[in-house]
Chains A and B, each alone.
Chain A
Amino acid sequence: SQTIHQWPATLVQPVGSPLSLECTVEGTSNPNLYWYRQAAGRGLQLLFYSVGIGQISSEVPQNLSASRPQDRQFILSSKKLLLSDSGFYLCAYQQLTNQPQHFGDGTRLSIL
């Protein structure tokens, strides 16, 4: 069976510091991978998605970036965090075309 792991679960970072959130998927190969951000009580905003190693599509211009160094690894990064980067970040995978997305447990990011 497939599983998705996302870490850390909670992160508190100062403004201007770097960021690295990691997501890995097990039990499947060549999944589509996604990063979403969710403000409190709000819907999901798609940030990045990837259909293969090294292939990244950006949905929203910002100071965040994503990378997919391995087939089942998806990383969300920033060189300098802004206050507006605070939020709840969710990673998701889609095993096959026309299948639903499945989500990790999320990372709660607070910027001080």
Chain B
Amino acid sequence: AQTVTQSQPEMSVQEAETVTLSCTYDTSESDYYLFWYKQPPSRQMILVIRQEAYKQQNATENRFSVNFQKAAKSFSLKISDSQLGDAAMYFCAYLKTSYDKVIFGPGTSLSVIP
């Protein structure tokens, strides 16, 4: 069965600095999708970034980028120039191709220090 692990329950970063959140997953599939979701204190779940496993190029969305290491089954999220509004719970998620259910990690709580 597929699992998603986020080994850092809590992280903090100074405003304007860069932080990297870790995610590893376990799968025997070669074709799948990976996502990072952000959940701010309002508890709305917001899609931050997505990565297709067949693409070697790392996805980027403005200040958010990923480091996708397929062989290592690692999918970390880098937030550059951290802002106060980045403070949130971040969830890593895995979706097997043509499957109906997304597997979510347990989350990492990110604090941004002004």
Chain A residues close to B by CB (< 8 Å)? 32, 38, 41-44, 46, 49, 51, 88, 90, 92, 94, 97-98, 100-103, 105-106, 108
Contact = CB atoms under 8 A, between A and B. Distances in A.
22 contacts: A32-B100, A42-B106, A43-B91, A43-B105, A43-B106, A43-B107, A44-B91, A46-B101, A88-B43, A92-B45, A97-B98, A98-B95, A98-B98, A100-B93, A100-B95, A102-B47, A103-B44, A103-B45, A105-B42, A105-B44, A106-B43, A106-B44
Interface of B: 33, 35, 42-47, 50, 89, 91, 93, 95, 97-98, 100-102, 104-107, 109
A38 B89 CA distance: 12
Interface centre among A38, A49, A100, A101 (most CB of B within 10 A): A100
A82 B43 CA distance: 23
A88 B42 CA distance: 11
Nearest to A97: B98
A32 B99 CA distance: 11
A80 B102 CA distance: 29
Nearest to B9: A41
B107 A100 contact: no
Contacts of A100: 33, 35, 47, 50, 93, 95, 102
Contacts of B97: 97-98
Contacts of A88: 43
A47 to B, nearest CB: 12
Given A100-B35, A105-B44, A49 B101 contact: yes
B94 to A, nearest CB: 11
B109 A41 contact: yes
A90 B93 CA distance: 16
A51 B100 CA distance: 8
